[in-house]
Amino acid sequence: MNTRPTVRLRPKIDPRPLRHGAPWVFADQLVTDRRTKALAPGTVAVLEDADRQPLGLVAVNPNSKIIARMLDCDTEAEIGRAWLAGRLAAALEMRARLYEAPFYRLVHAEADGLPGVVIDRFGDACVIQPNAAWAEMLIEPLAEAVAEVTGCTTLIKNGTGRARGLEGLEDETVVLRGGVNGPVGVPMNGAVYMADLTGGQKTGLFFDQRPNHAFVARLSRGARVLDVFSHVGGFALAGLAGGAVSALAVDGSAAALDLAEAGARASGSEARFTTMKADAFDALSQLGEAGERFDVVVCDPPAFAPAKPALDAGLRAYERVARLAAPLVASGGYLTLCSCSHAADLAKFRTACIRGIGRGGRQAQLIRTGFAGPDHPQHPHLAESGYLKALTFRLLS
């Protein structure tokens, strides 16, 4: 007999989206009586509709706007090591088909059936981000399941970032198994990237841009490349691998640029690679005032609109990036503009970019719209899982 606590949708809340796969219940959709509010964050409960019909198992966090995350349609499922291993094995099977080398996003949260959990794999190491309270509670069985399924001997918990704060979780990074003695080399698109698994941004590297790096690499043969907001050299190193004559990486982080330089050395392209530590907007303005021109320009900023309240300001920032970047592109050259803001949908982002290019005095063709790679699957009921957009324009005048 099921002895789990029960939580219930409010009257008039349509349960059909949840029956059809929607993964979240928001605080204003759930009956939040004293009993529900008293549940410990991460508690596994049975979710019922207003007529007391079961919908599935959810992980509850009364302190979060997302008060319940769907775990399993089977209310009798045991959420433990074996259940976690099953989800991980399904995720691994797809990545093993897609990639010859074990460098990829292994788990993309809700889209892989592990809500709030991100796991990136770097060869024999996995970096786990438990961004939901239930995963934080089960971090040990989750680590055991990751080791069992992947065979990885180094496991790192990266407990940092905005998502954990929204769940009421503390920031901390912990080595759970094994260890690393420095940055890890990651082969991708003909280049080698250096990932700091314990002190870098997020898990140490952004695998999501892989297909967009590859497209820019094809445009870069014989080109001068400018990569702004470059982090560890993402587009710059890919461009060099594609035959660029030179690449300039601009970032505000000296540590990230040090890793980019190490990646250039590991890739054998250090002679064609330079860096510039500067605020990106300042750098774009300075390069424009100096009359610099590049055949390929890429701007891949952090999320300017991480949530809806920041949308208007974020769109203005994306427009400003496009306005400052467009004059730096040689006639007939290419400009790639990226957004990782889920709150700025594709149409709004595209409009901001086109307006900025126009304000920069240029005319353009949109030649490609790119997204994250297939190791970042999209949940069909969750627009947030399709956050990444990459627009490539050819500037005509």
Active site residues: 340
Beta bridge partners of 120: 105, 127
**Site of tokens 């709030």:** 116
Question: What token pair was written down for 395?
Answer: 């500037």
Which helix (H) or strand (E) segment holds residue 197: the answer is: none
C-alpha–C-alpha distance, residues 160 and 171, integer Å: 5
Question: How far is Cα 62 from Cα 59, in angstroms, rounded to an integer?
Answer: 10
- Per-residue buried b or exposed e for 344-354, using 16+ beta carbons within 10 Å of the residue's own CB: bbeebbbebbb
For 136-206, list the strands marked E by DSSP.
154-159, 172-177, 184-188, 191-195
The 8-class DSSP code of residue 189 comes to T
Query: Are 40 and 18 spatial neighbours (Cβ–Cβ below 8 Å)?
Result: no
Instruction: For residue 21, report the phi and psi dihedrals to the nearest 5 degrees.
Output: 120, -5
* Residue indicated by tokens 């424009």: 288
Segment holding 290, helix H or strand E? none
The owner of tokens 């790119």 is 370
Two tokens, residue 316: 């203005």
Torsion of CA 129, 135, 136, 142, to 10 degrees: -80
Hey, what are 363's tokens?
Answer: 């005319």
Question: What distance in Å separates the CA atoms of residue 236 and residue 234, rounded to the nearest whole number?
Answer: 6
For residue 34, what are the contacts with CB-CB under 8 A and spacing of at least 6? none
**DSSP element (H, E) containing 208:** none
